[in-house]
Amino acid sequence: MAANPIHIRPVTMAAALAVVVGVELLAGWALAGIGLPRFAKVGAVRLLQIGGMLLAVIRLEGGLAAIGWQPRAWATGLARGLRWSLMFALAAGLGMALLYLAGQNPIALISSPLPDRQMDLLLLFVVGGLIAPLAEEICFRGILFSFFRSYGIMAAIVFSTAIFVILHFNRLPATQVVGGIVFALSFETSRNLMVPITIHALGNLALFALSLPAFHG
């Protein structure tokens, strides 16, 4: 594991989580009466949460290096994230092949319901595949993992992943558990938040793509 792991103070975690909850409640209420597509509203809320969390980290910790997301490290993190994603995809492909040989339809097990309208489908890919992974990685790995890391690597992985899974209770729990552990380990070993952001975004985009009718015959 990486030496001198990233760490944030309790006050930063509290401020960032207060932003997340406050924006979720206030922005969600303010946008409720506006005639925007559902995914557009979700995207707007997530962007506000991203801005608020980053502002809290910058003001209280002195910069984005505190959560491993300084801009000068983005390119390196993207390259590492692509390598992690390739290994993750190979492992997932092997698992799907084994399920197929066992008589299961792996596509049916991982597919998600997709909206019918093309604009909603486009927004799903943009919001669910790009904006949401960015917001979630800043929160779950950048904020929560970095805070719990003071109590040891196992505590950081367990607590950040458990909260991640609980808040995705309407999804496949096994997928969220595996994903949360992979995101946490990639962050721990690289100390670069762009790595789990890349893996998370590509994973979501792949799941959405595999849910398209073309993959179901």
Question: How many structural domains compose the chain?
Answer: 1
Residue 2 lies in a domain: no
Residue 3 lies in a domain: no
Residue 163 lies in a domain: yes
Residue 174 lies in a domain: yes
Burial of 213 (0-12, 13-18, 19+ CB in 10 A): exposed
Residue 32 lies in a domain: yes
For residues 61 and 17, the answer to whether their CB atoms sit within 8 Å is no
On the question of pLDDT at 46 being above 70, the answer is yes
Residue 148 lies in a domain: yes
Residue 1 lies in a domain: no
Mind listing the pLDDT tens digit for each residue in 165-204? 888 766 557 788 889 999 999 999 999 999 999 999 999 9
On the question of pLDDT at 74 being above 90, the answer is yes
Residue 113 lies in a domain: yes
What is the span of the domain harbouring residue 68? 10-216
Q: Given this model, what pLDDT does residue 110 score?
A: 77
Average pLDDT, the chain: 90
pLDDT classification of 23: cutoffs 50, 70, 90: very high
